[in-house]
Amino acid sequence: MKKKLAVVALGGNALLRGDQIGTIDEQEENTTQTLENLIFLINEGYDLVITHGNGPQVGNILMRNDAGEQLYNIAQMPVDICVADSQGGIGYMIERMFRNVLNRNGLTRNVVCLVTQVVVDRNDPAFNDPQKRIGKIYTREEADSLAMKKGWIFREEVKTDGGFRRVVPSPIPIDIMNHTIIGDLARQGNIVIAAGGGGVPVYIDEKNDVRPAEVVIDKDRASALLASMIGAEEFYILTDVPYIFINYKKPDQEIREFLDYADTLKYLREGHFAKGSMAPKIEACLSFLEKGGKMAVITEAFKLADKKYGSKITMEYEQ
């Protein structure tokens, strides 16, 4: 029997919950719980590629950068380096937790973490419209001075108590470096952690050189692209809701457990999925199915086991 390959994207919540401050003990505990839920996929014979978000972690790295510059005059590192740092730190943690979870379940697998560059198009329209807020909140004076010194672009905060945050573009990923190696390693039975935080953002210049991009890439988009490039059969997005809902948080809210492509697209167009959170996940799932993926699942990180929970999207409706 041909083994199935699954890409599992761990959301911020799978590593760090909103009500926690982000100590390493908390992250290790959450990660372990999440990974325990993946054991059943391994026992069902799946090969696995793990991807992950890095929002809170890269946010902390950017703040340390800022503090280091102010206190000790340490040069700030660009966004690509910060993402690479976060891939190393988070990837190592997932790897070590996974080794321990495998050991406790009597399983033996290699677990390998790859610093992964993800390519964007320098002509992506997102470059003309930076929207993704990163790093700390500055006062107007600080923001003006940083804009002068570093050429950063700022936007005013609306939700919190004001202040300004740096915004960077979030272009669409077009290629995942080393994707054939990621796929091969996984199909040989190794658990591969890759494309963390949406990938280290790079672009290819006119001389074919690889250049860093001062952008962040959506982790769900990058994970979906990786999943289709390596021909994964299934794509799991683990987040902090057990199901996709329509009329979310309204009195007539309804769970959707089994969805087909057409209905999901209809719900997306009707605006059932919030822009910065669920909509990119749905778009990622739809693009995975368009490119030949068999099933995309969105569910809560801690509830994946035995497939009892979760919304399952397939090209044709099936139950």
The answer to whether 12 contacts Mg ion (rule: CB under 5 A) is yes
Distance from C-alpha of 245 to C-alpha of 239, rounded to nearest angstrom? 14
The answer to whether 56 contacts Mg ion (rule: CB under 5 A) is no
Nearer to ligand ADP, 20 or 190 (CB): 20
**Binding ligand ADP by CB under 6 A: which of 37, 51, 239, 264?**
239
From the list ligand ADP, Mg ion, none, which binds 241 (C-beta under 5 to 8 Å, kind-based)?
ligand ADP
The answer to whether 13 contacts ligand ADP (rule: CB under 6 A) is yes
Whether residue 13 lies in the annotated active site: yes
From the list Mg ion, ligand ADP, none, which binds 111 (C-beta under 5 to 8 Å, kind-based)?
none
Distance from C-alpha of 122 to C-alpha of 315, rounded to nearest angstrom? 32
The answer to whether 53 contacts ligand ADP (rule: CB under 6 A) is yes
Cβ contacts of 29-35, under 8 Å, gap ≥ 24: 30/301, 31/93, 31/94, 31/97, 32/97, 32/100, 32/101, 33/301, 33/302, 34/10, 34/238, 34/301, 34/302, 35/94, 35/97, 35/98, 35/101
Distance from C-alpha of 8 to C-alpha of 237, rounded to nearest angstrom? 6
Token pair of 312 as six digits: 């399952």
Contact characters 240-279, ligand ADP, x per CB under 6 A: xx--xx--x-----------------------xxx--xx-
Number of residues that bind Mg ion (CB under 5 A): 1
Whether residue 219 lies in the annotated active site: yes
Q: Identify the residue whose tokens are 């059969």.
A: 233
Distance from C-alpha of 192 to C-alpha of 49, rounded to nearest angstrom? 5
Angular region, 198: left φ>0, alpha ψ -120 to 50, beta rest: left
Nearer to Mg ion, 12 or 91 (CB): 12
Nearest distance from residue 259's CB to ligand ADP, in Å?
Answer: 11
How many residues comprise the chain? 319
Nearer to ligand ADP, 135 or 197 (CB): 197
From 281, 293, 310, 312, the catalytic residue: 281
From 53, 219, 310, 312, the catalytic residue: 219
The four Cα atoms 182, 183, 188, 189 give a dihedral, to 10 degrees, of: 80
Nearer to ligand ADP, 43 or 247 (CB): 247
What residues make contact with Mg ion under the rule CB under 5 A? 12
Residues with catalytic roles? 12-13, 132, 219, 281
